[in-house]
Amino acid sequence: MSGYDNIILDPPRERSALPVGKYGNSGTPELKIVHYNGSKPTKTDDLNRHSFLVAGLNGVAGTAFLPIQVKDAWLSPEAVSLAFAIPAADLGTTETKVATFRASFLEQAAARAVANNTPEEAMEQATQTAYDNLLTQIRINVGSIFRLQDWAGQPRDPQTDWQSLVGTEFAGSIEAGLSGGTSDVKSVYSRKRAKQ
């Protein structure tokens, strides 16, 4: 046995969580994406969880995770048109395609209402609520992509190259993570836009 056999090749890394709180504002970033951890499918309906490692700026110790959960369909111009109420033509698509997405999303919402054993008399309202919740999820998650792209000085595009966001400095809020000793980015703040 040589001395080399005693070398620990993968020593445990000590990470501390960024403290809970607000970091920066619309004009001043205090967080930075330092690594793209990749994408993993979740247990829910073809939802993919993209994750970044974020550090504090200005000597703040610790790291946090920034999760963004999206389905591929949510990154389409049609889904963005529905969620953000943007005319189809402005996104290079058609009202017909947007209507097809709307019908598909309403079908998914109705299936969710059925899966929740919704009584027949409440089905219409439950379907509308599930549809509205779906659009809210798209606005939150795709909105986070757009806000990060604004901070990075990139054009807004839901079909982002996730790796291109590494190095982005931004402002946001941090909350305690689900597992002990970790923290997560709760929200990415909008960047103040230059006057045109």
Q: How confident is the model at residue 176 (pLDDT cuts 50, 70, 90)?
A: very high
Please write the tens of the pLDDT for every residue from 90-126. 999 999 999 999 999 999 999 999 999 989 999 999 9
pTM value is: 0.87
| Percent of the chain whose pLDDT exceeds 90 | 79
Q: Is residue 64 packed enough to be buried (19+ CB in 10 Å), middle (13-18) or exposed (0-12)?
A: buried
Question: Residue 44 has what pLDDT?
Answer: 73
Short-list 73, 71, 58, CA closest to 23: 58
Give the domain ranges of the chain. Answer: 15-187
Q: Which two tokens stand for residue 33?
A: 């994406």
**Average pLDDT value for residue range 67-94:** 96
Residue with tokens 């599930």: 130
Short-list 159, 163, 146, 194, CA closest to 33: 163
Distances from the Cα of 65 to the Cα of 24, 30, 184, 185, 187, angstroms: 17, 15, 5, 6, 11
**Dist CA 30 CA 56 (whole Å):** 6
For the chain, give the mean pLDDT: 91
Q: How confident is the model at residue 85 (pLDDT cuts 50, 70, 90)?
A: very high
Q: How confident is the model at residue 28 (pLDDT cuts 50, 70, 90)?
A: very high
Question: Residue 46 has what pLDDT?
Answer: 83
Please write the tens of the pLDDT for every residue from 6-26. 666 655 555 789 999 999 999
Question: Residue 5 has what pLDDT?
Answer: 72
